[in-house]
Structure 1
Amino acid sequence: MEQEKKPKKQLAFNVMSSGKHKGFGAGSIDLNNVSPVIIDQGRAYIDMGAMHAKSKLERGIKFSANREDVPNGRKCWIVWVAVDRNEEGSFYGGLTACEMLVDEEARRGWKILADHVNRMDSAMKRRVLLEGLSEEEKGHLRELLMTHNEEWWANTSDEVKEALA
């Protein structure tokens, strides 16, 4: 009699929706407190599709890691925003910006996926990395964060606020 083989559990990157998981895959990353903000054409807005590279801006665009493939691309940003919580309440804890070029007419774009993943990780680790953003772009981001949740903004550290000044 042949013994039935049990399927082997695969070790994989898991996104957990609850911090209560203690079984196989415990210690996986929880992305519930991270949101992507798109800064493009003079405005900042939240687009959760960017979590899986499927924001409205990215859909239908073939991305390359070679910047020269997009000579007419306009500069856009994804800013990973991490929300944390302490005894005073929730606050904006980490902000990291990732540059992209998008040429909608040619349906081409440039971004470095590894940089986007690393920047998301940095935001989750409560780092503030906004180099490359212009004063105007920082202003759009600041305005969005302030109006999205005034209480979170009030609880946000001076370091984060100064980075957006």
Structure 2
Amino acid sequence: MDNKKQGSSPKNAQFNILRNDPTKGDGGYGVGSISLENVTPIIIDRESQEVFIDVGAMHGRSKVEQKVFFKDVTKEEVLDLDPHKYWVIWIALDRNQDGAYYSGAGACEILVAKQMKEGSRKRFGYKSMPEHVNSLDKAIKRRFALESMEDESKQSLKKFLVDFNNEYWERSPEELKNSLN
């Protein structure tokens, strides 16, 4: 983990903003496909409340997921190993006549054991793929699903979004603002 404080982000981290709509055009290849160009994964370390963008999460290769074994491990097994807890928040951006704004968000958790399982050289973790897919789907469909987050993480996310670009925040729907207050 970086030694950055709450609300920090790497200088080169960027939100992706819509470029082209893959459903428009000649009706050929790619019609109806889902574009992830306008979705950005944000990770919150639930212990330190460090917030950062990690585009590797799009493919299950974020910093927190690297070198972690997720297969055939139950949530209870990982909880017994005193896990490090994270939120992955999928944030969608759109643009209207006034400019870009946060248009959808879905949160899901990742648990990563701090210690090795007895008799193993692997670090185990837990994430529910259906939960991750559903959270991403909600963000893509311009819905907000942040109710599973605890208040401290909601405040950290709000601070990060406001600090990243206050104009995006100001143009965002009241539903997002209310869900993070």
Work out the CA distance in 2 between the residues paired with 1:37 and 1:135: 17
- Counterpart of 1:26 in 2: which secondary structure? coil
Answer whether contact 2:41 2:91 (CA < 8 A) is retained: yes
User: CA–CA distance in 2 between the matches of 1:99 and 1:121?
Assistant: 15
What is the identity percentage for the equivalent residue pairs of Structure 1 and Structure 2?
42
Larger radius of gyration: 1
> 1:122 Cα shift?
0.8
Equivalent runs, 1:45-64 vs 2, <5 Å: 45-64=52-71
Q: Provide runs of 4+ in structure 1 moved above 6 Å.
A: none
1:109 pairs with 2:111: no
Structure 2 residue matching 1:36: 3-state secondary structure: strand
Structure 1 alignment gaps of length 5 or more: 1-16
CA–CA separation in structure 2 for the residues paired with 1:76 and 1:66: 16
**What's the Cα RMSD here?**
1.6
Letter in 2 for 1:121: D
Q: Compute the TM-score of the two structures, normalised by the length of structure 2.
A: 0.77
Question: Which of the numbers 98, 110, 116 marks the counterpart of 1:100?
Answer: 110
TM-score computed with the length of structure 1 as normaliser: 0.84
Distance apart, 1:44 and its partner CA:
1.2
Matches of 1:128 and 1:19, distance apart in 2? 22
Q: How many aligned positions are there?
A: 149
- 1:86 equivalent in alignment to 2:93: no
What's the offset of the Cα at 1:89? 1.2
> How many angstroms does 1:61 deviate by?
0.4
